[in-house]
Amino acid sequence: MVESSEAGDLVFRALADPTRRRMIERLSQRECTVGELAEPLDMSLAGASKHVGVLEQAGILVREKRGRERVCILRPGGLIAMRDWVARYSAFWDARLESLDRALREDGDE
Amino acid sequence: MVESSEAGDLVFRALADPTRRRMIERLSQRECTVGELAEPLDMSLAGASKHVGVLEQAGILVREKRGRERVCILRPGGLIAMRDWVARYSAFWDARLESLDRALREDGDE
DNA sequence: CTTATACTAAACTATTTGGTTGACTATTCC
DNA sequence: GGAATAGTCAACCAAATAGTTTAGTATAAG
C-alpha cells in the first residue's frame, strides 16, 4: 500500500468496516458510552474500544471522559471529506445520466 | 468480522483504498484501459487488474472488452449507496450544526 | 504462422486488520 | 479502605488485503 497520509484517507478507511458504521448509526441517535456501543455488537469491550479509537483518529467522533465512563460524541463535520468526495462524483453522475444509453450499455441486469 | 453481505459494504470497502480512489478519479475524466490505469501507479499490470476487479464487483465500474483491451467505464450510480449513506448523516450534521457550542467543545484545534 | 501486446488467473509473501485475553488505571459504591 | 465497574493498553492470533511473479489466453501486427 502507498501510505497516502491524506487526511480523508483515515475517514474512508474508518468507514470501510460495517461495525464502525453501525456505531456511527447508533451515535447519530444519541451519545453512547463505549460500553453501550459494545453491548449490541457481540464483541468484547476492548474490541469496541479499538473501533472507537479508529473513528476518533479519523476525526469522526470525540471521546469525552465523564467519571469512569467515556462518552462518544459524533463530530458534525467529521465526514466532510467523504461528503465532498461523493459530491464531486455526483456531479459526474448527473452529467452522465443524461446519456444513459452509452454508459448503461450493460447495466440493466444488476 | 461479521460478513455483512450488504451490497453497500462492497462499495465502502472498495473506496477504502487510495489507489482505487485514484482510479475512479482518472475514470471520471475519461475511459481508460487497465493498462492506462496501471501506468501512473507504479504497480504491475496484474496488481492494477485486481483493483479494477474490486471496483467492478462493487458495481462502481464495468469492464468492456474491446479487441485485446479492456476498457473501464465508471457506472453512474455505482456510488449511490455511499451517497445515500452520507446524505443521511448530512441531515444529522445540519441539525447539530445549530448547536455548535456543545458538539464542537474540542473542535477548534483541527 | 509467429511474435508482441493486453490482460487475467493462480500461487505465494508481507503487512494490515479485526478480534481475543490478561493486566493495569481510574472511578464509583458499600 | 476494599470491591465492583468502565475503559485502555499490550501481546498475541487468524484472516483479509495489497502486492508480487509466473504462466496462460486472446487479440493484433508483421
Domain of A52: which CATH number?
1.10.10.10
Give domain status of residue A102, yes or no.
no
* B12 in reach of chain A (CB within 8 A): yes
> Nearest to residue B86, comparing CAs of A87, A47, A74?
A87
Q: Is residue B1 part of a domain?
A: no
Q: What is the pLDDT of residue B6?
A: 72
Residue B2 lies in a domain: no
Residue A36 lies in a domain: yes
A40 lies in a domain? yes
Residue B99 has what pLDDT?
Answer: 60
Length of chain B: 110
Yes or no: say if A69 and A45 are a contact pair by the CB < 8 Å rule.
Answer: no
Residue A2 pLDDT level (bands cut at 50, 70, 90): very low
- Do residues B72 and B62 make contact, with C-beta atoms less than 8 angstroms apart? yes
Range of the domain at A38: 7-97
Q: Is A107 contained in some domain?
A: no
Of residues A9, A17, A75, nearest to B18 (C-beta): A9
What does the pLDDT read at residue A1? 47
Residues near strand D (C-beta below 7 A) are A 1-2, 33-36, 38, 45-46, 49, 52-53, 63, 68-70; B 1, 13, 16-17, 19, 42-44, 46-47, 50-51, 54, 65, 67-68
The whole-number average pLDDT for the span A66-78 is: 93
Mean pLDDT over residues B30-36, rounded?
A: 97
Give the pLDDT score at B1: 45
The predicted-structure confidence for B48-100, as pLDDT tens digits, reads as follows 999 999 999 999 999 999 999 999 999 988 888 888 898 888 877 776 666 65
Structural domain total, chain B: 1
Please name the residue of chain B whose CA is at the shortest distance from the CA of residue A110: B59
Q: Report the pLDDT averaged over residues A49-64.
A: 97
Mean pLDDT of chain A: 86
Q: How many Cα atoms are found within 13 Å in the side-chain-facing hemisphere of A71? A: 9
In a domain, A108, yes or no: no
> Is B53 contained in some domain?
yes
Q: What is the DSSP string of B29-62?
A: HS-EEHHHHHGGGSS-HHHHHHHHHHHHHTTSEE
